[in-house]
A and B are shown apart, each in its own frame.
Chain A
Amino acid sequence: MGRNLLAERPTYVVGIGLHRYQHKTDTTYVQLGLTAVRAALADAGITWPDVETAYTGTALLGMGASRIMLSRLGATGIPMAQVENASASGSTAVAQACLDVASGRTDVALALGVDKPRGGLPMAPSEAGISNLEGGTVVPFTHFALLASEYMAAHGVTPEQVAGVALKNHRNGARNPFAQRQQVRSMDEIMADPISGSMTRLQCCPVGEGASAVIIASDDGIDRLGIDRSRAVRVLASATRSEGLYPPGVGIDAALTVETAQAAFDQAGVGPLDMDVLEVHDAFSIEELLYTEALGFCEPGQAAFLVESGDFDLGGRCAVSPSGGLLAMGHPIGPTGTGQVAEVTRQLRGEAGDRQQPGARLGLTHMVGVGAVCVVHVLQSPGA
Chain B
Amino acid sequence: MPDVRARYPQLIRLAPAGSDSSPTIVGQVCGACGRRSFPPDPYGCEACGAPVDRLTTTELAATGVIHAVATVHRHHHPRPETPFTVATIVLDDGVTLKGVLTGDTSAAAVGARVRGVAVPWDTDDDGTEVVDLRFETVADHH
Contact = CB atoms under 8 A, between A and B. Distances in A.
Interface of A: 129-139, 141-142, 145-150, 153, 194-199, 245, 248-249
Given A134-B99, A146-B68, A248-B90, A195 B73 contact: yes
Contacts of B47: 245
Contact of A146 (B46, B70, B77): B70
Given A146-B68, A248-B95, A133 B86 contact: no
B74 A149 contact: no
Interface of B: 7-8, 10-12, 25, 39, 41-42, 46-47, 67-77, 80, 84, 86-88, 90, 94-100, 109-111, 132-133
Given A245-B46, A245-B47, A133 B70 contact: no
Contacts of A199: 70
Contacts of B39: 130-133
A146 B69 contact: yes
B83 to A, nearest CB: 9
Nearest to A248: B96
Nearest to B94: A248
Contacts, number: 94
Given A149-B110, A150-B67, A195-B74, 16 more contacts: A130-B41, A131-B39, A133-B12, A133-B25, A134-B97, A134-B98, A135-B8, A142-B72, A146-B69, A149-B68, A150-B88, A195-B73, A196-B74, A245-B47, A249-B67, A249-B90
B82 to A, nearest CB: 9
A196 B70 contact: yes
A122 to B, nearest CB: 15
A263 B87 CA distance: 33
Contacts of A136: 76-77
A139 B98 CA distance: 11
A196 B8 CA distance: 25
7 contacts: A133-B98, A146-B69, A195-B73, A196-B74, A197-B69, A248-B90, A249-B67
A197 B133 contact: no
A65 B142 CA distance: 60
A135 B96 contact: no
Contact of A150 (B68, B86, B94): B68
Nearest to B73: A194
A63 to B, nearest CB: 26
Contact of B97 (A133, A145, A194, A245): A133
